[in-house]
Chain A
Amino acid sequence: MAQPHVIAAPSDAALIAAWQSGDEQAAAELVGRHARALARYLSGAGAPDAEVDDLVQETFIRAFRSVDRFRGQCQFRTWLLTIGGNVLKDYGRRAARRKVVPLDESVRDVAGDPHEQTVASEAEARLAAGLKVLPRLQREVFLLRAQQGLEYQEIAVALATTAGAARVHYHHAVRRLKEMLK
Chain B
Amino acid sequence: MEDVQVVAMLVRRCIAGDSAAWEEIVQTYHRRIYNICYRFAGSGDDAQDLTQEVFIKMYRTLSSYDPTKGAFVTWVTTITRNLLVDHFRKTKQDRLTDSIDTAASEHEDAQPLSEQIPDQSVPPDAQVRSREVGETVHAALARLSPELREAVILRDLQDLDYREIATVLKVPEGTVKSRINRGRAELARLLQRTYRQVM
Q: Do A and B share a complex?
A: no
Task: List A residues at the B interface (Cβ < 8 Å).
Answer: none
